[in-house]
Structures are given as C-alpha cells and as structure tokens.
Amino acid sequence: MSPVWQRWLPLALIACFALGLRVWDLDRRPMHADEANQAVKAGQLLAGQGYTFDPADHHGPTLYYAVLPVAWLRGEHTLAQLSETTVRLVPAIAGTVAVLLLYFLALPLGHRPALLAAAFFTLSPPAVYYSRYFIQESLLLAFALGALFSGMQWWRSGRLGWALAAGVCAGLMQATKASAPLFVLAALAGLAVARPLPPAPAQIRRHLIFSLLMAVFVAGLFYSSFGTHFAGLGAAWDTYTTFGTRLAAGLTGHEKPWWYYFSLFGWRQEGGVITHQLGISLLALSGLVVALFSTKRTLLRGAAGFTVVLVLILSFASYKTPWHVIHLGPGLAILAAGALGAVPERWTQAGNLMAFVVLFTLSSQVKLTSFQRPADERNPYAYVHTSPDILKIRPLADASDGPVRVISEEVWPLPWYWRGLNNVGYWNTVPDDCDGTLVIASAGLAGQVEAKLKGRYTSSFVGLRPGFTLVVFKRQP
C-alpha cells in the first residue's frame, strides 16, 4: 500500500463510519417538540413562506436555510413533503464534518493521535445522539471547529485567506446560536494557556479587522433573511436582553445544579439503565495532566484551557440542557488522544489495548443511547422526549373524515405529525364547541372537554412526553 493510502485510508474509514452512525435509521426516533417546531419553520421556508428571526423562542437561522439544499436534492418542496430524515440529515452531515475537522485540528499531535481523537469523537455518545437531532448544536460545533482550524492556519501561515475563512465560520456560529461568544471566550482562554510562538509575520491588525467584518457580514446576511428583513438584525441583538431577563429571573425552565454536566461524563444508573463515559473521561483527565506538565505540547495545553474554561462557563450558568455536552467532546477527545500519544514506546501495546477498551465502551453506549433507547426517559440525552405513543396519532387523523380538534396547553410535536392536513385546529383553552370526529385533550382539560361533547365518544390515553398525557376522544357513529 502506498504511503498516501496508508495516511488517508484510516481517516476515510473513520469518516464513513461516522457518517453511517449519524444517518442510519434517522426517522426511527419520534420527533422531539423542539425538533418538530424547528422542522415546521424549515418547511415554511422551503414552501416559499419566507423566514423572519424570532428572538423570543428560536435560535439562529442557519439550521433552517441548511435544510433547503438537502430537501431539494431529495425532491421535497413543501412542508407536507418534508420528512424527518431530510431535516435530520443536516445535523448528521455537520456532525461528520466536525469529525474530519477535529482530525485536522489535532494533527500537530501527530497522525496517529489525530486519528485517535477523530475515532473517539466519532463514537462519543452525545456527539452521535445530537448529530441525529434536528437542533443547532452540531452545526454550531462544526462552525466552531472550522473557525479554530482556520485561525490556527492563519497563525501559522499569516495568510489573509485563512483570516477570512475564520471570519466566515465565526459569522456562521453567530448566525446559528447566540451562545457563540462563549466559544470565542473559551478559545481565547485556550490560546492564553497554550502560549504558542508569535503568529507568522503579517498585517495582524488589518487581517483581524477584515476577519471581524467578514463575520459581521455573514451573520448579518442570515439574520436579515438575505437582505429581505433588516429588522432581523435588531432582533438578533434583542436575543441577549430577552434571554438575560429570563435567566436572571430563573424562568428559562432549564435550571440545573452546577455538577449536571459532570454527571453526564461520569456514571449514571436509572431504572436499570446504566449510562457512562468513564473510559474517555479518565483518559482525558490523564491528558490534562500531560498538558499541565509538558512544555512542548502546545495544542494539548490549548485544548485543556479551552475545555476547562468551557466546562466552567457551562457549569456555573444556571441554564443547562444536555445537548451542550456535544461541545465538550472535541476537547476531551484531543486530551485523551494526547494522553495515549504520551505513552512511552515500550508500552505501545498497553496504549493500544487502552484505546480499544475505550472505543468499545463508547460504541456500546452509542448503541444503547442512540439506537436501543433513543426516546427512553432514562436515557440522559433524551431530554423531556416525545413518547413513541405519538406515532399512533397520525393514523387516527388520517382515518378521520371530519374536524379534528386539539385542546391542550401543549401541542408540539403534533403540528409536525399533522402537517399537510387541513381539518386540524388547535386551542389552548376549552372552546364552547368541542365536538369533532377526533378530539384530543390534555389530561388537565379532558374533564371540561368531555362535559361539552355531544354524542357518543370512546376515549383512550396517549403519552405526549414524560408527565404529560393526552386523552383521545373518538366519535362513534
């Protein structure tokens, strides 16, 4: 085998495996309420209804625009045609790109450690799970890694093109999620800890200004809906005041203790289901020690600084959701690979065995969390997830030849599953007229609804998500 094949074939195999894990059986898991809500927005954009940024309840626009080319290639042009597989292909592709970018980012450690870092991240349970989930996180991660890689190349070469590429990626980060500045802060901390040699001779201030202007231009393009809705630029800024007010009042609905993210990387047992990431966590801690006592491993020190600061930021913010852990994966993978790279040559076999054991345990956790129990409430990544019961709902509506009424304080993801149906109406309080061929009410409103129904109805129960049950009233002839 030629040296070229020896170098690139392992990376190609890792990339193919990463893509396969992220796209296999994508429509099996029910749509989470957040996925459904965003998929409907993407479908409306696909159908030509435009897009306007909503600073109150939605993140940035890149996710919705990224659906368009995928949908067009799959021959889907309306909300009714749009499928779960199509929308979830967007984070799946971004998650695979992130694996490749991580390899190139880790190359200063050497070819083998870089391959190991890519392999660890390929099998990271949260990375796989949330790369199959139609939310912004895997896009934000891919853009962040792109910005870091471009920044590293600019630092090394001093070329303006790399500064502009970093600006493009930074702009895409901001257009994906308002939390993007946190990653810039973590990257600056990583740079301070890494203490690299000065950047290559270049017009540093001029390049940085061009890079910043490029970032502002790219973010502005998306938030202004490509120049058709300039009010979106102001709304993008309003995100911070709106969220800051809710955060200060403790009203985000996602407040959790400071140690929450540490628990996801440790050992959890709930209802007989065990989830853990002990192997990669211990290896990453070893890499942190190597970084602390090594003066030659600049990248390892940078990864340590970036990851530690990001952990501190995420841990001490009261707002916590499990999908944020995907952003800790690359740093942990680099630190773990760095630890194995520091193993003396005479202990190479022991290092290989350790890598195999960690990859095996990661793969078993991926199988459990992404494929065997993807919607199980004992799965720490299935956050307030939609019950598989919801898959029974669409056939009921399809079989109804009259009005379908949904009377409930919470309705998502029902509008996604009933997209394309014209006989469905939604109420969040009980209307005077409740009758329909199919009436679905929340358990809290079902008594009031039933009292107003005329005629004969059968009733049954469907779980929407943990702690929230729907009562299905079906009119009898």
306-335 pLDDT tens trace: 999 999 999 988 888 999 999 999 999 999
Parallel, antiparallel, or unpaired: how do β-strands 273-276 and 404-407 relate?
Answer: unpaired
Give residue-wise pLDDT tens across range 238-267.
888 877 777 777 767 788 889 999 999 989
For residue 413, cis peptide bond before it (omega within 30 degrees of 0)? yes
pLDDT for position 284 = 96
* Both structure tokens of 322: 């499990």
Residue 445 has pLDDT above 90, yes or no: yes
Report the percentage of the chain scoring pLDDT > 90. Answer: 76
Query: Mean per-residue pLDDT for 417-429?
Result: 91
Q: Is 273 helix (H, G, I), strand (E, B) or coil?
A: strand
Q: Is the pLDDT of residue 6 over 90?
A: no
Residue 76 has pLDDT above 70, yes or no: yes
Sequence-distant (≥ 6) Cβ neighbours of residue 145 within 8 angstroms: 98, 101, 102, 105, 330
| Residue 345: pLDDT band with limits 50, 70, 90 | confident
- Is 450 within 8 Å of 473 (Cβ atoms)? yes
> Using CA atoms in the order 428, 431, 433, 434, what is the torsion angle rounded to 10 degrees?
30
Residue (of 124, 74, 72) closest to 102 by Cα position: 124
CA 411 to chain centre: 23
Give the tens place of pLDDT for each residue, 85-112: 999 999 999 999 999 999 999 999 999 9
| Rg over CA atoms, the chain | 24
Q: What is the mean pLDDT of the chain?
A: 92
Angle at 23 between CA 225 and CA 307, to 5 degrees: 70
Q: Select, from the ranges 51-65, 208-222, 244-258, the one with the highest average predicted confidence (pLDDT).
A: 208-222
Report the amino acid identity of residue 404.
V
> Is residue 13 pLDDT above 90, yes or no?
yes
Q: Maximum Cα–Cα distance for the chain, whole Å?
A: 82
What average pLDDT does the segment 25-42 reach?
94
Mean pLDDT of all residues in 273-282 = 94
Is the pLDDT at 416 greater than 80, yes or no?
yes
Alpha helical stretches, state H, 123-230: 125-130, 137-157, 160-174, 180-194, 204-223
Residue 423 confidence (pLDDT): 87
pLDDT digits (tens, 9 = 90+) for 153-198: 999 999 999 999 999 999 999 999 999 999 999 999 999 998 888 8
Residue 346 banded pLDDT, cuts 50, 70, 90: confident
Q: How many CA atoms lie within 13 A of 271 on its CB side?
A: 6
Sort strands 404-407 and 424-427 into parallel, antiparallel or unpaired.
parallel
Helix/strand/coil for 163: helix
pLDDT at 296: 67
Distance set, CA 400 to CA 25, 117, 476 (Å) = 29, 53, 11
Q: What is the pLDDT of residues 80-90, one digit of tens each?
A: 999 999 999 99
pLDDT at 196: 84
pTM of structure: 0.94
- What is the rounded distance in angstroms from the CA atom of residue 12 to the CA atom of residue 181? 32
CB 303 within 8 A of CB 309: no
